[in-house]
Amino acid sequence: MHSSSLGRGIGLSVLASTLFAFLSGYTRLLSPLDGTDIFAWRILWTTLAILALLWWQSRLPQLRAAWRIILDAPYGLGRLLLMAALLGVQQWIFLWASVNEMALDISLGYFLLPLVMVMVGRMCYGERLDGFQRLAVACALVGVVHELWMTRAFSWPTLVVALGYPPYFMLRRRFAIDSVLLFAIELLMILPFSLLWLAASPLSTDILRMPSMYLLLPVLGVTSMAALSSYLKASRMLPMGLFGILGYVEPVLLVLVAIVALGEQMTVTQLGTYVPIWLSVVFTGFHSARLMRARRSSISPEH
């Protein structure tokens, strides 16, 4: 992996975390929609946004070619259906939990996910941890154990998040297809279920009478497209362990948004969770910088 590719992957991961943090607050503007309604509209507008982007880039023929590659691959359609199902469940449960008083359960799942990703990288891809990565994982583990002790929220939504994403990313890596094209195909597989829900939802007609929704929903789609595309590209460009630990950038940003923009106060007990997580991100930053320097040195011409 070249240093430029590594740096781009890190940048895309941080960009995705920033956009996800923005979306967590943005969905509050979409009242009176519930979590499943927002999910369905999000899939619809994200699909329209990514198809518009591919059309603008004259890449629709590539999309058709990617679809043929999937169909020609052994068990390709089955893998695609499984990937679409895993992605759809993750997108749905994130929004569903926020309106069903299970936000803490989902939050703990996202705290556990990077550690699971590190384990997957080690066991399935033979990735080794250097000193800074070990420190990052140790700090993250301290924060996660503290959060688990505080919330006692080890429930099925926690497991869905922590254990659902790793097989999805592993399946994606088996397709030699551009990440954005594959993402568009996954969305097209989920779209019929979203349309069925919108057709049955009594709120669908009501919100179309609200002029603000004609701006809010397209912005939701464009932002979701940018966030998810960046996230999925980064998952292909980075080692699994590094990609996992970079997932802690998002909760750090969420806390900063809550304190700076929303005026929330952080309690002493919360520091036991977030200070180790912040340290984990700092150590990951040191590791990333050292890794990029090493990659640049390895490809520099000898003098």
Q: What is this structure's pTM?
A: 0.82
Q: Which residues contact 246 (CB under 8 A, 6 or more apart)?
A: 10, 13, 14, 17, 114, 234, 238, 284, 288
Give the per-residue pLDDT at 254: 67
Give the per-residue pLDDT at 187: 95
Residue 226 has pLDDT above 60, yes or no: yes
Give the per-residue pLDDT at 167: 93
pLDDT band at 8 (very low <50, low <70, confident <90, very high): confident
Over range 255-277, report the average pLDDT: 72
Residue 228 has pLDDT above 60, yes or no: yes
Tokens of 14: 């941080």
Residue 303 has pLDDT above 50, yes or no: no
Residue type at position 277: I
**Angle, helices 76-98/35-56, rounded to nearest 10 degrees:** 130
**What HEC string does 104-159 produce?**
HHHHHHHHHHHHHHHHHHHHHHCCCCCHHHHHHHHHHHHHHHHHHHHHCCCCHHHH
Tell me if 109 sits within 8 A of 251, measured CB to CB.
no
Over range 47-63, report the average pLDDT: 94
Neighbours of 101 (CB within 10 A): 8
Better-scored residue on pLDDT, 212 or 168: 168
Q: What is the pLDDT of residues 272-285, one digit of tens each?
A: 888 888 888 888 88
Tell me if 166 sits within 8 A of 120, measured CB to CB.
yes
